[in-house]
Amino acid sequence: MKIVKTIKEVREIVKLWKKENLSVGLVPTMGYLHEGHASLIDASVSGNDKTVVSIFVNPMQFGANEDLDSYPRDLNHDSKLCEEHHVDLIFNPEPNEMYGKDFYTYVNMNVLTEDLCGITRPIHFKGVCTVVAKLFNIVQPDNAYFGQKDAQQLAIIKQMVQDLNMPLEVHGCPIVREIDGLAKSSRNTYLSTEERQSALILSKAITLGQSLVENGERDCSKVLTSMIDLISSEPLAKIDYVKIVDLKTIQPVNTIEKPILCAMAVYIGKTRLIDNFIFEEV
């Protein structure tokens, strides 16, 4: 396994792979890798001849008052996990490698970015689309892997690939959870012991909502009210949003008549956590 810092090095390595007709998988990450990332890596390794993991805390997707500076970083830990899971190449650039001083070009999207996390993080998806488009252009993978935990991001990236005719396939991989149900997240490290216990209210609400829908409830307001009431019973929880939207367009729906995404963002103390479930059997 190699670790490289420059675009030139990545392109030289991938060019050699392509000459040998080897397929390439890409797992874009911001590092501080956990079992959720490992599941994406495993999917790439099993589906491709070579796997690239990018580790880049992308400043463009953080707002002015967000956690860019404090976002957890540990390249030694990340490289060990990657090596254990048979990654071939880590791309770990500095911000000035990805964004030169005269950087003026951005990839943006409307409709899919306007609800859910797009309301409270208005610049976030512009940063996500730009950096992912750059990574796709740099690595030129045949396949790319993203987690369902960031379901809105996954829908946006799939739409971007379709709209811009990018020659790769985007794969969504299931949410990986702790034994007690909490969705794996790098931001879980911010939680105190008390907050960590309180954070279980997210997965409990997801389980409740999923159960209601699977048992035939089709009125979104009833599902959401039950979930919101449960979350609100936790003193340390502050709801950003709990919504049901169309899975493809990320637009709100009132009745479950087509595949939906039920997504939430909840503050536990100062830490913003997300979770969701998808229901397609309609």
CATH of the domain at 264: 3.30.1300.10
Q: Does residue 25 belong to any structural domain of this protein?
A: yes
Residues 151 and 42 in one domain: yes
Token pair belonging to 133: 């488009």
Compute CA 145 distance to the chain's CA centroid, rounded to the nearest angstrom: 10
Residues 24 and 140 in one domain: yes
Ranges of residues in the chain with a pLDDT under 50 are none
Listed residue (131, 136, 164) closest to 61, CA to CA = 131
d(CA 134, CA 106): 10
Residues 166 and 193 in one domain: no
Active site residues: 37
Cα–Cα separations (whole angstroms), residue 271 to 134, 179, 192, 215: 29, 20, 10, 32
φ and ψ of 70, to 5 deg: -95, -5
Query: pLDDT tens across 217-271, in order?
Result: 999 999 999 999 999 999 999 999 999 999 999 999 999 999 999 999 999 999 9
Where a domain ends, among 111, 143, 173?
173
Residues 229 and 105 in one domain: no
Residues 22 and 160 in one domain: yes
Q: Does residue 54 belong to any structural domain of this protein?
A: yes
Where a domain ends, among 131, 149, 173?
173
Q: Does residue 40 belong to any structural domain of this protein?
A: yes
| Domain containing residue 81 | 2-173
d(CA 4, CA 12): 11
* pLDDT at res. 281: 79
Where a domain ends, among 111, 141, 173?
173
Q: Does residue 237 belong to any structural domain of this protein?
A: yes
Residues 38 and 61 in one domain: yes
Q: Does residue 178 belong to any structural domain of this protein?
A: no
CB atoms within 10 A of CB 81: 19
Strand partners, 274: 265
* pLDDT at res. 282: 62
* pLDDT at res. 240: 98
d(CA 204, CA 65): 29
Half-sphere exposure of 150 (CA within 13 A, CB side): 23
- List the CATH number of the domain containing 12: 3.40.50.620
d(CA 276, CA 213): 13
d(CA 269, CA 192): 9
Q: Does residue 229 belong to any structural domain of this protein?
A: yes
Tally of domains within the chain: 2
Residues 197 and 144 in one domain: no
Residues 62 and 90 in one domain: yes
Residues 55 and 84 in one domain: yes
Residues 113 and 193 in one domain: no
Residues 51 and 75 in one domain: yes
**Residue position matching structure tokens 């409307």:** 110
Q: Does residue 23 belong to any structural domain of this protein?
A: yes
CB atoms within 10 A of CB 117: 23
Q: Does residue 234 belong to any structural domain of this protein?
A: yes
What type of residue is 26? L
Token pair belonging to 220: 């979104």
Residues 252 and 166 in one domain: no
Give the N- to C-terminal CA distance of the chain in Å, as an integer: 45
What type of residue is 123? I
